Amino acid sequence: MKSLIIALLIAFVFSCVPAHAYWIWTPKTGKFVNPKTEVKPTPGDQLEFAVGLFESKSYEEAKKEFRKLIKNYPKAVEAAESQYYLGMIEEAQGNPYEAFLAYQKVVEKYPFSERIGEIIEREFKIGEQFMAGAKRKAFGMALPVDNPAIEIFTKVVENSTYGPLAPKAQYKLGLVLKSMERYYEAEEAFNKVITAYPESEWVEPAKFQLASTRASVSRSAAYDQGATREAKEKFEEFVIQHPDAILAPEAERNIRALNAKEAESLYSAALFYEKQKAWNAARLYYRNIIANYPDSSWAAKAAGRLETMEKRGH
């Protein structure tokens, strides 16, 4: 009779368990568990199981298992590895920004991870993707966002200030800012390459870009001749310091263009004084152009205006 009662009780318990779920009794815990949702007995076993799903490209299932490991074994070495794999999955699914965020969590939560060097490389490559025009995706659609490359390159430098990729990331940060016309921030970024990494191969191009950015500032303000002069001085300094550099010929072309810009500004000033009948001031400006910018087209124009003024008795 006693055996019959126990059997009926067990049958009743099973009848209460949803038919669609698979549950088993565990004497150790004294309760029913679902193997599909239960974490493996050790973090190593759980990691192995999750990695198997990743390798079979069952990415959504793998995500669940990696997250389960992190939740149940937060202090285990395998937790750091799981977080790394979450980044790998996001990359495999074509979500570069989400991959970056997942990788960055490894750096911040598990700095002891042996993957840190590899993660910084992966973050750098993701930054380059956004620099080249990649878009962040959400729900299968591209979203217009500020270029994530700024955040990513900044983090690469912060994660390993004196690591092998830091100078290059700092330089590329400047390029991204310059492309977005955030010129003063770009100048700050290029200056940091020069001051923080003086022995780096990126110092030379950073000096060139610093001059180029200053030239862009001068173009963005119609009468900012100070920026034009500074840009020209920086290009001239670059040519003197790096005469054999690949960028030296371009720097010289920029110097000629900036000379022409200065000469044009002086010519406009001379015309203004001429219209105001301030003949002495006009002559001073025209002669300045001829003396200091003889190779520019404005020198010939200035000479022509002086000749006209003389003929008219001015």
pLDDT at 2 (0 to 100): 55
Percentage, residues of the chain above pLDDT 90: 51
- Look at 18 and 118; give whichever has higher pLDDT: 118
Which range among 19-33, 106-120, 239-253, 255-269 shows the weakest confidence by mean pLDDT?
A: 19-33
Under the banding of pLDDT at 50, 70 and 90, the label for residue 221 is: very low
Under the banding of pLDDT at 50, 70 and 90, the label for residue 25 is: very low
- Look at 314 and 111; give whichever has higher pLDDT: 111
Q: Where are the alpha helices (DSSP H) in the chain?
A: 2-16, 43-55, 59-72, 77-92, 96-109, 116-131, 149-159, 166-179, 183-196, 203-220, 225-241, 248-275, 279-292, 297-311
Which range among 7-16, 126-135, 231-240, 263-272 shows the weakest confidence by mean pLDDT?
A: 7-16
pLDDT at 11 (0 to 100): 52
CA angle 224–228–232, rounded 5-degree value: 170
pLDDT digits (tens, 9 = 90+) for 265-300: 888 888 888 888 888 888 888 898 889 888 888 989
pLDDT at 210 (0 to 100): 94
- Look at 5 and 194; give whichever has higher pLDDT: 194
pLDDT at 26 (0 to 100): 43
- Is pLDDT of 179 > 60? yes
For residue 58, what is the DSSP state? Answer: -
Which range among 53-62, 84-93, 107-116, 255-264 shows the weakest confidence by mean pLDDT?
A: 255-264
- The amino acid present at 6, given as its one-letter code, is I
User: What are the structure tokens assigned to 17, written together?
Assistant: 């368990």
Which range among 51-55, 66-70, 275-279 shows the weakest confidence by mean pLDDT?
A: 275-279
User: What are the structure tokens assigned to 309, written together?
Assistant: 């003024």
pTM: 0.74
